[in-house]
Amino acid sequence: MRAVVVTEPGADFEVVERDVPDPGPDEVRVAVDACGICHSDSYVKAGGFPGLEHPRVPGHEVAGHVDSVGENVTAWSEGDRVGAGWHGGHCFTCDPCRRGQFLQCENAEITGLTFDGGYAEYATVPAEALARIPDDLDAVDAAPLLCAGVTTFNALRNSGAQPGDLVAVQGIGGLGHLGLQYAHAAGFETVALSRSPDKRDLALELGADHFVDASAEDAADALQELGGARVVLGTAPSASAIESVVGGLGIDGELVVVGVPHEAAEIDVQQLVMSRSAVEGWASGHARDSQDTLEFSALRDVTPTVETYPLEEAEAAYDRMMENEARFRVVLEP
Ligand SMILES: [Zn+2]
Ligand SMILES: [Zn+2]
């Protein structure tokens, strides 16, 4: 099979010929139909991530179909359409697993990081890490939903927001353009916050009821004028963006951060205390969360905007994504 590998930290992607891998007893072999490229794939290029060894095939937005199952696998059969996201399996025996907190597993696998991922024609994946893809969802659309989709969908549905509440999505990119659609479909009064005024029309098309141009007005003031946000979903990986919206939270408001900045953010605690509000983080989801995301997306016609490339163009496709030029997610079709 053809696969894209990172042979050592800092190396360019290399397309190689490899043997098709056999699934272990508790694994499934997936014939990859599409695999999204995500910012977190940069960990594989950079090296140093716990559990990462090179050479490694990246890719944790894997959509395909079951090609072969290991001898202990009962949940999946050949031909099933399945996907795998960042959460690549868990041990079932550590303390978080015993409490059902599989995402927090102390021995968690990460697809395309602790084992080879979806930048290839085939990938073997632990059976518990797979989500079923609904019939009416394209593999190319499903792929980004397995990381960017589940992250935003899961963050919103685990927040305290109720239908009708004011929910703002900060940043309209790979995560934010999905967050807006989910917020609208969930029945929230949806605000798009962006420093790019040229994204106004797109934001309204994706379901925003309001657009706040944060390059021209104070985002916190604008949110307070709308009544104060019950939730702000922070997708822009910037400390100053995070700091700029804390004052826009309403009573019991939550700033749920999913876009992680490289620098620390300064939070005005007095603002939190006065409004009884909180700044918190959210990461991804386990396989059933991914499947819920795919099912809801199919039900409500939530689709990512994608650019597609063949495996041979992985390097150029990755660069477009890292340089923020892609609209909005990049998907490889092996
Ligand atoms: Zn990702
Ligand atoms: Zn565990």
Q: How far is the CA of 81 from the centre of ligand 1 (A)?
A: 20
Secondary structure (3-state) at 5: strand
User: What is the separation of C-alpha 38 from the centre of its chain, rounded to a whole number of angstroms?
Assistant: 8
Domain 2-147+284-332 has CATH 1.10.490.10: no
CB contact at 8 A, 121 and 334 = yes
Q: How far is the CA of 101 from the centre of ligand 2 (A)?
A: 8
pLDDT at 48 over 90: no
Ligand with an atom nearest the CA of residue 91: 2
Running DSSP on this structure, what letter comes out for residue 115?
B
pLDDT at 140 over 90: yes
Ligand with an atom nearest the CA of residue 100: 2
Ligand with an atom nearest the CA of residue 37: 1
Section 121-150 average pLDDT: 98
Return residue ranges of the chain for CATH 3.90.180.10.
2-147+284-332
Q: How far is the CA of 172 from the centre of ligand 1 (A)?
A: 16
Q: How far is the CA of 269 from the centre of ligand 1 (A)?
A: 31
pLDDT at 12 over 90: yes
CA distance linking residue 118 with residue 260, whole number of Å: 23
Q: How far is the CA of 318 from the centre of ligand 1 (A)?
A: 13
Q: If you average pLDDT over every residue of the chain, what do you get?
A: 97
Ligand with an atom nearest the CA of residue 290: 1
Q: What percent of the chain has pLDDT over 70?
A: 100
Section 21-25 average pLDDT: 98
Instruction: State pLDDT tens for residues 189-234.
Output: 999 999 999 999 999 999 999 999 999 999 999 999 999 999 999 9
- Select 159-281's CATH number: 3.40.50.2300, 3.40.50.720, 3.40.50.300, 3.40.50.1000: 3.40.50.720
Q: Which of 191, 146, 143, 147 is nearest to 171 (CA)?
A: 191
Q: Compute the 3-state secondary structure of the chain and give helix, strand, coil in percent, each to the nearest 5.
A: 30, 25, 40
Query: What angle, rounded to 10 degrees, do the helices at 176-185 and 150-157 form?
Result: 40
Around ion ligand 1, residues with a beta carbon closer than 5 Å are 38, 40, 147
**Lookup: tokens for 121:** 């024609």
3-state SS track over 189-224: EEEEEECCHHHHHHHHHCCCCEEEECCCCCHHHHHH
Q: How far is the CA of 144 from the centre of ligand 1 (A)?
A: 8
CB contact at 8 A, 208 and 271 = no
Predicted confidence band of residue 259 (pLDDT cuts 50, 70, 90): very high
Section 172-179 average pLDDT: 96
Section 94-123 average pLDDT: 97
Q: How far is the CA of 136 from the centre of ligand 2 (A)?
A: 33
Q: How far is the CA of 184 from the centre of ligand 2 (A)?
A: 35
Ligand with an atom nearest the CA of residue 38: 1
Return residue ranges of the chain for CATH 3.40.50.720.
159-281
Section 273-283 average pLDDT: 95
CA distance linking residue 175 with residue 123, whole number of Å: 25
CA distance linking residue 108 with residue 181, whole number of Å: 30
Q: How far is the CA of 96 from the centre of ligand 1 (A)?
A: 22
Q: How far is the CA of 61 from the centre of ligand 1 (A)?
A: 7
Residue 273 is which amino acid? V
For residue 41, the model assigns a pLDDT of 96
Specify the higher pLDDT residue, 170 or 325: 170
CB contact at 8 A, 147 and 37 = no
Q: Does residue 32 come out as left (phi exceeding 0), alpha (psi in the -120 to 50 range) or beta?
A: beta
3-state SS track over 38-80: CHHHHHHHHCCCCCCCCCECCCCCEEEEEEEECCCCCCCCCCC
